[in-house]
Amino acid sequence: MSNYHYYPGIADNEFIRGDIPMTKQEIRIQVLAKARIAKGDTIIDIGAGTGSLSIEAALQSQTGAVFAIERETEGIELIKANAQRFGTPAVSAILGSAPEAMAALPQADVILIGGSGGKLSAILAEADRLLKVGGRLVITAITVETLHGALQELKKRNYPSEACGIQVSRIRSVGASHMFQALNPIYIISATKEEG
């Protein structure tokens, strides 16, 4: 996309998509706000899906690196295709599951967790090892159990955290009328790593 000017919240239809779940625009905007990505930041995106968040993180970081971990081969191909489409060569697609796929990664300023595959505790332990002091951790959850588990794990690790639930409804045309269509509600948990 030559002459592309970036603004947070790229439209969903601008991404190359397949059958892999994608974080929707309105949720991406909130996650990016919580992540507070600065120029040069290193970001790890766990459960990257189509790479929509990875791409936006790379565009915000500009000179930093983004490591997009995804366990589905189709997802890896979509991440690579979208990285090329948006001119973000700093996005490295990593095929594998966390926490194992995190083992060789460098220290990070921001870690995004969009999918845990039931291994949230182990992923957070590895995230704690990789996250720099002052680094931000943002978790998106679609189940109450993941929300509860994330809050409990962060409390055990003494991470100050906050959480919110977001319900987005989009308007769509139905003949000559319009109606709202609800997207799945999402919980966003954000935390910062402090000294000690």
In a domain, 10, yes or no: no
How far apart are alpha carbons 108 and 45 in whole angstroms?
10
pLDDT in tens, 73-83: 999 999 999 99
pLDDT in tens, 19-28: 898 999 999 9
In a domain, 13, yes or no: no
Residue 1 reports pLDDT greater than 60: no
As a residue count, the chain comes to 196
In a domain, 94, yes or no: yes
For range 172-177, the mean pLDDT = 92
In a domain, 11, yes or no: no
Task: Please give the residue range of the domain that contains residue 40.
Answer: 22-192
CATH value at residue 37: 3.40.50.150
What beta strand segments (E) does 75-153 contain?
Answer: 91-95, 108-113, 131-141
- Identify which of 108, 116, 157 has the alpha carbon closest to the alpha carbon of residue 134: 108
In a domain, 12, yes or no: no
Looking up tokens 């919240």, which residue turns up? Answer: 9
Residue 2 reports pLDDT greater than 50: no
- Identify which of 187, 97, 193 has the alpha carbon closest to the alpha carbon of residue 137: 193
CA atoms within 13 A on the CB side of 163: 19
How far apart are alpha carbons 71 and 108 in whole angstroms?
20
pTM for this model (two decimals): 0.93
In a domain, 44, yes or no: yes
Torsions phi, psi for 112 (to 5 deg): -105, 130
SS3 56: helix
pLDDT in tens, 27-55: 999 999 999 999 999 999 999 999 999 99
pLDDT band at 67 (very low <50, low <70, confident <90, very high): very high
In a domain, 6, yes or no: no
- pLDDT number for residue 196: 66
In a domain, 5, yes or no: no
Residue 4 reports pLDDT greater than 70: no
User: How many folded domains does the chain comprise?
Assistant: 1
Determine if residue 161 is left, alpha or beta; phi over 0 gives left, psi from -120 to 50 gives alpha, anything else beta: beta
